[in-house]
């Protein structure tokens, strides 16, 4: 009963703890139900004491010194808590039969006083037996009601436990489905990540190749530009040197031409002086020779030839007579 009371006073915090506690209580109740017959037999054997025995002073050990009342411990044992404690205390010695002590043997006395004492003792013992039996019946009925109530609660908890198991199974199934979906999504993401990583690596390699090609082309362009500039400078220098050489040649040629001209002028001056001296020596007077030449060369212009042409002009009409140039040349010579 103490176990039952502790079970009633406690409140289950969780379903697992409640189920474990109910299982333990169920085992205790099964043990109690199995031992009820033994407990009842022990109580009956303990209650049916010898009624004619006397103590060392000639008094019944069950009665008080006054003779009519029961012992105070027996009255206290009739209470509910005391009865429960008696039931629990009597479970242990149930396997050992209660033996009658040697000092409490029946002693028969002769006379009317002894018979009246035995009759009073038997009436007191029968009253005590009735009280104990009624107390035990109440305890048994209370234990039965508690057992039925606990069985109902256990069935209810088993139903709740089955519902909880069903809910847990459904939750586990949903979680497993979600886990499978997440695993599939993770696999797809890993594949996409691998593809993205490979594409990024390829793109990085392509960018590196392009950047290296651009740098190479830049270096080549810079080298070509430097080479072209060097070639242009070299060509400019060559043209400048060639032009300077040409200018030097031209200046040299002009100098030689100037020398030739000076020589020609000097020769012409010398030759002219010599011709004038010769003419002065031959004719004596240059003016007279000139007037003679003019009078000889300039014929009348109004006279015409037989074909109507000017005898001074040539056949072309615009040239002078060849004889005049030749004459002047010969005269000058």
- The full set of domain ranges for the chain reads 2-172, 285-333
Q: From CA 279, how far away is CA 266, in angstroms rounded?
A: 20
Check: CB of residue 71 under 8 Å from CB of residue 64.
yes
CA atoms of 11 and 183, how far apart (whole Å): 42
Would you give the DSSP letter of residue 71?
A: P
Dist CA 194 CA 191 (whole Å): 5
**pTM: predicted TM-score of the whole model, two decimal places:** 0.27
Q: What is the pLDDT along the chain (333 residues), one digit of tens a residue?
A: 444 454 445 444 466 676 677 666 666 655 555 555 666 666 556 554 444 344 444 444 443 433 444 433 434 434 444 444 444 433 433 333 344 434 434 444 444 445 555 566 677 778 788 888 888 888 888 888 888 889 889 999 999 999 999 999 999 999 999 999 999 999 999 988 888 888 888 888 898 898 889 988 988 888 888 888 888 889 999 998 999 999 999 989 898 888 888 888 888 888 777 776 666 555 556 667 667 767 766 544 444 444 444 444 444 444 444 444 444 444 443
Residue 79 CB partners (closer than 8 Å, separation 6+): none
Percent over 70 (pLDDT), the chain? 47
**Residue 204: partners with Cβ closer than 8 Å, 6 or more residues away:** none
> Which region, left, alpha or beta, applies to residue 284 given φ > 0 means left and ψ of -120 to 50 means alpha?
left
Q: Could you give the CA distance from residue 137 to residue 131 in angstroms, rounded to a whole number?
A: 10
Q: Residue 315 carries which DSSP code?
A: T
pLDDT in tens, 142-189: 888 888 889 889 999 999 999 999 999 999 999 999 999 999 999 999
- Tens digits of per-residue pLDDT, 102-155? 443 444 444 444 555 556 667 777 878 888 888 888 888 888 888 888 988 999
Closest of 43, 131, 146 to residue 86, by C-alpha: 43
Q: What 8-state DSSP symbol labels residue 284?
A: S
8 Å CB contact between 4 and 143: yes
């Amino acid at each position: 009963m103490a176990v039952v009371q502790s079970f009633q006073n406690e409140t289950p915090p969780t379903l697992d703890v409640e189920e474990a506690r109910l299982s333990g209580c169920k085992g205790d109740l099964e043990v109690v139900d199995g031992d009820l017959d033994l407990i009842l037999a022990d109580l009956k054997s303990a209650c049916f004491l010898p009624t004619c025995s006397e103590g060392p002073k000639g008094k019944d050990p069950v009665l008080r010194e006054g003779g009519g009342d029961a012992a105070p411990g027996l009255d206290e044992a009739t209470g509910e808590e005391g009865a429960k404690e008696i039931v629990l205390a009597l479970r242990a010695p149930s396997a050992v039969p209660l033996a009658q002590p040697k000092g409490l043997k029946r002693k028969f006395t002769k006379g009317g006083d002894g018979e009246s004492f035995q009759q009073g003792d038997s009436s007191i013992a029968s009253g005590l037996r009735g009280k104990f039996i009624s107390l035990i019946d109440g305890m048994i009925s209370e234990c039965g009601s508690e057992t039925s109530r606990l069985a109902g609660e256990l069935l209810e908890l088993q139903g709740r436990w089955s519902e909880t198991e069903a809910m847990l199974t459904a939750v586990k199934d949903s979680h497993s489905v979600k886990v499978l979906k997440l695993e599939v999504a993770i696999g797809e993401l890993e594949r996409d990540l691998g593809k993205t990583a490979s594409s990024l690596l390829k793109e990085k390699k392509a960018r590196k190749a392009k950047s290296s090609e651009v740098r190479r082309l830049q270096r080549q362009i810079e080298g070509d530009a430097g080479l072209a500039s060097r070639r242009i400078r070299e060509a400019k220098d060559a043209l400048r040197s060639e032009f300077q050489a040409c200018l030097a040649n031209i200046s040299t040629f002009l100098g030689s031409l100037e020398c030739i001209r000076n020589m020609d002028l000097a020769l012409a001056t010398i030759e002219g002086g010599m011709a004038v001296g010769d003419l002065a020596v031959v004719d004596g007077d240059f003016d007279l020779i000139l007037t003679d030449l003019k009078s000889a060369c300039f014929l009348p212009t109004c006279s015409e030839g037989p074909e109507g042409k000017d005898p001074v002009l040539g056949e072309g009409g615009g040239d002078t007579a060849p004889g005049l140039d030749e004459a002047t040349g010969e005269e000058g010579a």
